[in-house]
């Protein structure tokens, strides 16, 4: 009986809540007044003004105010509302019509999601990256997440990475509108961002060659800009590349020599690979490195005459191998012939 009563009471309160949910126009009574604001205890002023058309141009133009602000179910409403939970609609199997993507699952496992769920107030939740009322498709011109604006959006929290990136070759060309250079998420991912020391991270030491290689080994991307695709192959065949392929975290990957956010062409004096800076760059791991190290080319393509002595040594060994093999095959054929003749005779 008690159960039945509480069940009825529950149903009544639910239906009351549904009936009581105020229509959107009601919000405008207060929130559409320009200058509507509140003052925090510390004197800071927070604007509570929400222009009536603020959702109109967003992807959520068909959503009602309290579909997101779900705890506003009476007017006047109480202060201290909850943060909007975007994952109330953005999950696989949702009935709201939001795209079916495993974003929450990815985000939850990422460095940001883990930190936010553990209570780190500085870690971004969905709206910190996407915005609140003016959420756009990420590639839209006004989205803070489009390729060009994204670095500044991440840079609100990652100031040093942003500062370096903005003056790198990639960052400078990105701000000029070059469509082929990377933005933060091309190297880090979006909802899957990880610490560089996590093996799953796209910038984990042994995965960096693959991450840079997405573009630097692709003729249709970097070659258009006069940058050779040889660098990735020559790296893979180098001491460092072979050691990295076998899982060495000590050998140099692309970022050990080029940097990650401050990458510059070899001709730029500030570049880590500018000849005068080579001893310092290599010296991190090879204390014996001196100015002479600048003489050896790093990305050596042994099948190119520019490689000098290495080309001739490689060519010598190539022809030595070929002639040895040819000699061996001739020897076998002659031997077989001799045996056959012998058999026929006997
Ligand atoms: C009678 C005026 C009034 C109406 C109508 C009203 N609000 Fe508010 N709203 C306020 C006031 C006052 C505050 C500031 C509360 C406080 O002191 O934190 C506020 C704050 C908010 C906040 C911010 C909370 C925070 O802590 O920053 C949200 C979100 C909000 N209202 C949503 C809504 C929605 C959605 C509706 C319509 C369903 C609505 N309001 C209708 C007066 C109103
Ligand atoms: C797509 C979800 C969504 C919809 C729809 C939505 N809001 Fe919000 N609103 C947010 C988010 C996100 C914030 C930022 C604070 C937070 O995360 O809770 C916010 C913040 C606010 C605030 C606090 C002041 C500010 O601008 O940060 C007010 C007031 C508010 N909304 C009122 C409204 C009103 C009125 C409507 C309907 C016209 C509305 N919201 C519709 C997501 C939404
Ligand atoms: C009440 C349910 C609901 C809530 C809450 C909600 N969304 Fe949405 N969202 C949708 C629907 C439905 C669409 C699809 C709109 C369309 O295609 O017309 C959408 C679309 C989007 C898109 C565009 C996706 C694309 O590629 O088309 C983004 C980005 C987005 N939402 C982010 C957010 C963020 C960030 C929040 C929290 C601030 C949020 N949403 C809260 C229902 C919701
Ligand atoms: C660290 C910033 C960041 C956070 C936090 C974040 N997103 Fe995103 N989100 C992005 C970026 C960047 C893109 C653009 C993806 C791309 O370039 O392919 C995106 C894309 C999307 C899209 C559109 C996907 C598509 O392919 O159309 C939706 C929907 C979305 N996010 C929802 C969410 C939701 C829900 C959350 C919270 C669980 C969230 N995001 C948290 C940065 C973020
Ligand atoms: C060309 C690829 C690339 C781009 C573009 C890039 N990063 Fe990174 N990022 C890396 C690599 C590689 C590391 C790991 C560096 C290491 O282990 O020394 C890294 C490390 C980081 C770290 C960890 C701490 C640190 O600074 O070492 C943060 C935070 C970070 N990046 C943020 C960003 C932001 C924000 C942007 C955009 C403004 C960005 N990254 C653009 C490759 C990139
Ligand atoms: C609202 C602030 C905020 C925004 C926006 C933000 N981050 Fe972060 N990010 C953090 C915080 C806080 C951490 C540290 C979490 C921890 O260590 O527990 C972090 C961690 C990271 C790390 C790992 C850093 C390390 O030292 O290991 C990377 C990489 C990173 N963020 C990249 C990005 C990129 C790329 C974007 C943009 C798409 C972005 N972040 C947007 C706050 C932010
Ligand atoms: C999204 C594609 C992309 C990714 C990922 C990428 N790059 Fe680039 N990078 C480019 C393009 C395109 C250029 C050519 C820009 C120009 O000079 O016009 C470039 C230029 C460079 C240059 C200067 C070349 C020159 O001759 O001016 C260096 C060095 C470089 N990248 C190294 C790296 C390293 C190291 C990584 C990984 C940590 C990386 N890049 C990741 C696209 C990419
Ligand atoms: C051991 C250090 C080292 C490693 C590891 C390394 N590079 Fe280089 N890279 C250099 C040096 C030094 C130069 C300039 C001289 C040369 O071309 O040999 C250079 C030149 C380049 C250039 C041409 C830059 C210009 O301005 O002409 C590109 C692009 C490049 N590297 C990309 C990569 C990529 C991608 C990787 C990883 C797959 C990588 N490098 C790994 C040291 C390194
Ligand atoms: C992140 C650390 C690191 C950096 C930076 C680095 N190396 Fe190395 N290098 C190694 C390791 C570890 C090995 C041993 C690899 C192996 O196991 O074969 C190695 C091996 C070599 C070898 C072959 C073995 C030998 O000692 O003769 C040469 C040559 C070399 N590095 C040159 C360079 C040059 C030139 C630079 C700078 C442009 C450089 N390295 C930058 C870590 C590094």
Cα(103) to centroid of ligand 3, in Å?
12
* Residue 225, CA distances (Å) to 179, 204, 218, 221, 228 in order: 11, 27, 12, 8, 9
Per the CB < 8 A criterion, the answer to whether 311 and 304 are in contact is: yes
Residues 6+ apart with CB under 8 A from 327: none
The total of other beta-carbon atoms located within 10 Å of residue 165's CB is: 24
pLDDT of 308 reads 58
Closest CA to 209 of 243, 182, 236, 181: 236
d(CA 90, CA 127): 13
Q: In a mutational test of the pocket of ligand 9, which residue from 208, 252, 296 has the highest number of ligand atoms less than 8 Å from its CB?
A: 252
Tokens matching residue 186 = 């091309």
Contact 255 CB / ligand 7 (< 6 Å): yes
pLDDT of 280 reads 92
* Residue 168, CA distances (Å) to 120, 199, 263, 265 in order: 31, 26, 5, 9
pLDDT of 34 reads 93
Cα(112) to centroid of ligand 6, in Å?
6
Contact 216 CB / ligand 8 (< 6 Å): yes
The alpha carbon of 274 is separated from its chain's Cα centroid by a whole number of angstroms, namely 27
Nearest CA to ligand 5 atom 17: 196
User: Could you say which residues of the chain have pLDDT below 70?
Assistant: 1-25, 291, 294-297, 302-317, 346
Atom of ligand 3 nearest to the CA of 137: 23
Contact 180 CB / ligand 2 (< 6 Å): no
d(CA 222, CA 218): 7
Sign of CA dihedral 157, 163, 166, 170: negative
pLDDT of 52 reads 86
The total of other beta-carbon atoms located within 10 Å of residue 128's CB is: 16
The alpha carbon of 191 is separated from its chain's Cα centroid by a whole number of angstroms, namely 9
pLDDT of 327 reads 87
| pLDDT per residue as tens digits for the range 223-255 | 999 999 999 999 999 999 999 999 898 999 999
d(CA 24, CA 259): 52
Per the CB < 8 A criterion, the answer to whether 133 and 54 are in contact is: yes
- Residue ranges lining ligand 4, Cβ < 6 Å: 86-87, 90, 99, 101, 103-104, 107, 112, 124, 126, 129-130, 138, 145, 150, 185, 190-191
**Cis amide bond preceding 306, omega within 30:** no
Tokens matching residue 203 = 């910038």
Nearest CA to ligand 6 atom 39: 154
Q: In a mutational test of the pocket of ligand 5, which residue from 253, 260, 281 has the highest number of ligand atoms less than 8 Å from its CB?
A: 260
Q: In a mutational test of the pocket of ligand 4, which residue from 96, 127, 129, 153 has the highest number of ligand atoms less than 8 Å from its CB?
A: 129
d(CA 20, CA 18): 5
pLDDT of 288 reads 86
């Amino acid at each position: 009986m008690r159960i039945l009563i509480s069940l009825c009471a529950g149903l009544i309160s639910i239906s009351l809540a549904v009936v009581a949910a105020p229509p959107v126009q009601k919000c405008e009574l207060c929130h559409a007044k320009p200058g509507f604001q509140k003052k925090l205890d510390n004197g800071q002023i927070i604007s509570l003004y929400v222009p009536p058309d603020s959702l109109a141009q967003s992807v959520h133009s068909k959503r009602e105010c309290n579909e997101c602000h779900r705890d506003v179910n009476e007017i006047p409403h109480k202060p201290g509302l909850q943060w909007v939970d975007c994952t109330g609609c953005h999950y696989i199997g949702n009935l709201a019509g939001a795209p079916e993507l495993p974003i929450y699952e990815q985000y939850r496992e990422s460095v940001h999601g883990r930190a936010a769920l553990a209570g780190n107030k500085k870690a971004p939740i969905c709206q910190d990256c996407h915005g609140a009322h003016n959420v756009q498709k990420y590639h839209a011109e006004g989205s803070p997440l489009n390729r060009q604006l994204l670095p500044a959006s991440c840079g609100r929290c990652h100031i040093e990475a942003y500062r370096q990136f903005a003056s790198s070759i990639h960052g400078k060309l990105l701000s000029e509108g070059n469509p082929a250079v990377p933005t933060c998420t091309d190297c880090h991912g979006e909802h899957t961002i990880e610490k560089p020391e996590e093996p799953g991270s796209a910038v984990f030491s042994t995965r960096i060659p693959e991450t840079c290689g997405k573009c630097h080994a692709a003729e249709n991307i970097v070659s258009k800009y006069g940058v050779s695709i040889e660098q990735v192959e020559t790296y893979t065949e180098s001491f460092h590349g072979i050691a990295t392929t076998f899982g060495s975290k000590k050998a140099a990957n692309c970022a050990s020599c080029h940097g990650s956010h401050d990458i510059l062409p070899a001709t730029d004096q500030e570049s880590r690979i500018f000849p005068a800076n080579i001893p310092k760059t290599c010296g991190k791991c090879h204390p014996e490195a001196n100015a002479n190290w600048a003489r050896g080319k790093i990305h050596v393509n042994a099948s190119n005459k520019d490689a000098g002595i290495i080309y001739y040594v490689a060519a010598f060994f190539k022809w030595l191998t070929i002639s040895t093999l040819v000699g061996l095959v001739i020897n076998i054929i002659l031997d077989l012939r001799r045996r056959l003749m012998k058999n026929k005779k006997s």
